[in-house]
């Protein structure tokens, strides 16, 4: 499993739009304690409102890595950014990127990294090898966030749930399965880049044996109802062997995004189907509740939707952005 | 396109289990005319019952390639097999492998191949990149062989069914999804080596739009009940969009092989679970029958088992090695 060197310096290039810097904002919001500061090209107008630090100054304060926290248009890394990243390498920092363009495709960065004995980490292109899944039951407790679709809050929910468990004194670890989650956690496995035969094996490696009362809170991927990605979802589900799942959903999403012929089934069916598949590797799997992205609903509509859902399914429904996920943590910890 | 040099010498390593030698048995049975003989490490107990030939003797008889016909768990090539493969290279044979471990990762094999001007062919690593699945319904008809476990006849069944359809005048094409099928068919996609996000997309590409009455007979992979490989199975199922499935089973197999804590469910449940998953991309999916590996049963026991199964499930049960799969082809073609 990849382990990143913390703390981080976040690099914003010459970003003009906050929306191009989702990675940097995500890191600031979810691992603020691991962020020493930000650095950017002079032309940048976006700021994270954290201390501005040149790479050498960040290194002097103990930084381990500079994270490319901005996505350039077209995914190509401009030459002027390479000056900044080379300076970071010279200062002794690893450079970490989730861009399509590989850092290792720039000879000057490769040379600088070799010269200084530091790493170029292309999170999107990692292809580590894992054993085939054993199916062996592991010690410790696991909860996996699953979804009706992609991109509707599985990472956010897992991060919020990890905090809610910790706030209740329960030992809990967030387990990252995607690029941004991996940067936040500092370690993890990008499931979608794995060779297919090792999906479940990698998921097993991600949440190893642990103390009996320890919760691994595993970031879900994709959906079993997604015509392209269900294989990844199933491999992660089986390898995770979750004791519990939380179903993430956006009520404004009536079909799989960009697949208008693929309707999202009723949530009761969704939960039953996830539990049926999950039982293969954990007979005791249960659903502890729903995490709803309610941003499309005004307060009264959300209250009504939530009440109806809770009555229909007999499970708590939360929005991590609107009241938090305390009810899900309580349900996980209930005897 | 890659053209393999025939005829073949089949290599069995030090196999103790026939089920580890699917590749070798498949080639023996489906292109016997291309097989000169077998070779193995002295510790092997499995034999194909073809002439035993050392690589030099096979080369003297005109062999073009030695095929690694055995799959160790996890796909790793043991160092002791390298002695035999190096001898084959020295004798002038290409070495062809479908294992995850690349032949080209062994410096001594690379050196020997270069020295002799012969090839190391990693069949599993020849895949082009594929788009993400579209979920769009394609023209033409498709049948997928699915299984209660790995290594119990999905490829055999698909090959036999292709022949049975052709014998009935129905246009049919075998679609290979594993390395052996690929070696037999001359084209195909090794599904288990794909990057996970592209599983269903590759399966879509494997059986493109076709004439309305044309059958693609798609070789299944893994099992939805396998704790390591279900993700591959689901991706292939969704991308194939099969109109029909044939369930492959070995009644002597009570649990997933090498996973004694994973019992195989009753076959009625197995079929229902496959159909439930398959409905995502083809609402009209149906099961047309069972393909049974009955090698553990004497004639009377097989007749009794078969009759009971057909009565219980209301579907024809065949053994491709014992009477053929004509009943399955008839069911596929029934109006």
Residues 6+ apart with CB under 8 A from B242: B142, B143, B144, B218, B278, B282, B285
Interface test with A, best of B194, B198, B228 (most A CBs within 10 A): B228
Size of interface A-B (CB pairs under 8 A): 129
**Which residue's structure tokens are 């449940």?**
B269
Q: What is the pLDDT of residue A87?
A: 97
Contacts of residue A202 in chain B, CB cutoff 8 Å?
Answer: none
Closest Cβ–Cβ partner in B194, B277, B281 for A196: B194
3-state SS class at B229: coil
- Give the DSSP letter string of A167-198: HTT--EEEE--SHHHHHHHSEE--GGGSBGGG
Q: Which of A138 and B126 is assigned the larger pLDDT?
A: A138
Answer whether residue B125 shows pLDDT above 50.
yes
Q: Which domains does chain A have, with CATH numbers?
A: 2-125 (3.40.50.720), 141-333 (3.40.50.300)
| Inter-residue contact A179 to A278 (CB < 8 Å) | no
3-state SS class at B221: coil
Distance CA A254, CA A185 (A): 32
Closest Cβ–Cβ partner in B200, B228, B229 for A227: B200
Minimal-distance CA residue of chain B relative to A200:
B228
Q: Which residues pair with A248 in a beta bridge?
A: A147, A291
Model confidence pLDDT, tens digit, residues B24-65: 998 998 888 889 999 998 889 999 999 999 999 999 999 999
Model confidence pLDDT, tens digit, residues B202-242: 999 999 999 999 999 999 999 999 999 999 999 999 999 99
Average pLDDT on A37-47 reads 94
Minimal-distance CA residue of chain A relative to B234:
A231
Q: What is the pLDDT of residue A101?
A: 82
Contacts of residue A259 in chain B, CB cutoff 8 Å?
Answer: 135
Closest Cβ–Cβ partner in B201, B224, B280 for A225: B280
Model confidence pLDDT, tens digit, residues B132-180: 999 999 999 999 999 999 999 999 999 999 999 999 999 999 999 988 8
Q: What is the pLDDT of residue B127?
A: 56
Closest Cβ–Cβ partner in A191, A224, A256 for B196: A191
Going from the C-alpha of B49 to that of each of A35, A104, B10, B52, B64, the distances in angstroms are 65, 51, 11, 8, 20
How close A291 gets to chain B, by Cα (Å)?
Answer: 24
3-state SS class at A1: coil
Q: What is the pLDDT of residue B2?
A: 55
Q: What is the pLDDT of residue B98?
A: 84
Going from the C-alpha of B154 to that of each of B163, B217, B221, B316, the distances in angstroms are 14, 11, 7, 16
- Put simply, whether the predicted model's pTM sits higher than 0.90 gets the answer no
Contacts of residue B259 in chain A, CB cutoff 8 Å?
Answer: 135
Structure tokens at A322: 């609107």
Answer whether residue A75 shows pLDDT above 70.
no
B247 phi, psi to nearest 5 deg = -90, 125
pLDDT interval class at B1 (50, 70, 90):
very low
> Which residue in A239, A175, A180, A172 sits closest to A204, CA to CA?
A239
CB-based burial, B252-272: b 16+ in 10 Å, e otherwise: ebeebbebeebebeebeebbe
Structure tokens at B165: 């359809």
Q: Does B133 contact chain A (CB < 8 Å)?
A: yes
Q: Does A285 contact chain B (CB < 8 Å)?
A: no
pLDDT interval class at A331 (50, 70, 90):
very high
Model confidence pLDDT, tens digit, residues A220-264: 999 999 999 999 999 999 999 999 999 999 999 999 999 999 999
Answer whether residue A127 shows pLDDT above 80.
no
Distance CA B53, CA B66 (A): 11
> Which residue in B303, B212, B289, B209 sits closest to B249, CA to CA?
B289
Q: How many C-beta atoms lie closer than 10 Å to residue B319's C-beta? A: 21
Contacts of residue A232 in chain B, CB cutoff 8 Å?
Answer: 196-197, 199, 231, 235
Least-confidence region, from A100-114, A234-248, B142-156, B181-195? B181-195
Distance CA B242, CA B217 (A): 9
CB-based burial, B229-251: b 16+ in 10 Å, e otherwise: bbbbbbbbbbbbbbbbbbbbbbb
Distance CA A234, CA A43 (A): 45
| Inter-residue contact A38 to A11 (CB < 8 Å) | yes
Residues 6+ apart with CB under 8 A from A231: A196, A199, B196, B199, B200, B231, B232, B233, B234, B235, B236, B238
Q: What is the pLDDT of residue B96?
A: 92
pLDDT interval class at A99 (50, 70, 90):
confident
Distance of CA A211 to the CA centre of its chain: 23
| Inter-residue contact A106 to A14 (CB < 8 Å) | no
Check B262 against A276: CB less than 8 A apart: no
Q: Does A280 contact chain B (CB < 8 Å)?
A: yes
Q: Does A234 contact chain B (CB < 8 Å)?
A: yes
E-assigned strands of chain A?
2-3, 8-11, 35-39, 65-68, 94-97, 120-122, 141-147, 172-175, 187-188, 215-218, 244-249, 255-256, 259-263, 286-292, 317-318
Interface test with B, best of A135, A150, A196 (most B CBs within 10 A): A196
Q: Does A238 contact chain B (CB < 8 Å)?
A: yes
| Inter-residue contact A182 to A170 (CB < 8 Å) | no
Q: Does A230 contact chain B (CB < 8 Å)?
A: yes
Model confidence pLDDT, tens digit, residues A297-311: 999 999 999 999 999
Q: How many C-beta atoms lie closer than 10 Å to residue B307's C-beta? A: 11
Residues 6+ apart with CB under 8 A from B135: A227, A228, A256, A259, A261, A262, B281
Q: Which of B74 and B10 is assigned the larger pLDDT?
A: B10
């Amino acid at each position: 499993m990849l382990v990143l060197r913390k703390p981080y310096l976040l690099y914003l290039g010459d970003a003009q739009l906050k929306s191009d810097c989702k990675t940097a904002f995500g890191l600031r919001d979810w691992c603020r304690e691991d962020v020493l500061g930000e650095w950017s090209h002079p032309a940048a107008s976006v700021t994270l409102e954290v201390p501005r630090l040149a790479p050498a100054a960040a290194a002097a304060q103990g930084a381990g890595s500079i994270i490319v926290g901005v996505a350039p248009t077209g995914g190509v890394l401009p030459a002027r950014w390479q000056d900044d990243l080379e300076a970071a390498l010279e200062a002794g920092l690893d450079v970490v990127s989730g861009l399509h363009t590989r850092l290792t495709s720039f000879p000057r960065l490769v040379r600088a990294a070799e010269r200084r004995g530091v790493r170029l980490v292309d999170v999107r292109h990692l292809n580590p090898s894992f054993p085939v899944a054993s199916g062996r039951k592991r010690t410790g407790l696991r909860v996996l966030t699953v979804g009706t679709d992609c991109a509707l809050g599985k990472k956010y929910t897992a991060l919020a749930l990890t905090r809610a468990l910790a706030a209740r004194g329960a030992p809990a670890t967030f387990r990252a399965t995607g690029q941004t989650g991996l940067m936040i956690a500092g370690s993890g496995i990008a499931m979608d880049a794995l060779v297919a035969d090792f999906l479940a094996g990698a998921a097993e490696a991600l949440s190893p044996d642990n103390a009996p009362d320890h919760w691994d809170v595993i970031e879900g991927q994709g959906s079993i109802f997604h015509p392209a990605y269900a294989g990844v979802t199933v491999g992660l589900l089986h390898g995770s062997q979750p004791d519990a799942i939380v179903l993430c959903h956006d009520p404004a999403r009536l079909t799989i995004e960009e697949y208008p012929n693929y309707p999202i089934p009723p949530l009761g069916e969704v939960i039953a189907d996830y539990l049926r598949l999950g039982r293969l590797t954990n007979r005791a799997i249960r659903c502890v509740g729903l995490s709803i992205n309610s941003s499309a609903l005004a307060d009264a509509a959300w209250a009504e939707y939530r009440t109806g859902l809770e009555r229909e399914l007999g499970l708590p429904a939360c929005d991590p952005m609107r009241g938090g996920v305390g009810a899900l943590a309580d349900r996980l910890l209930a005897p």
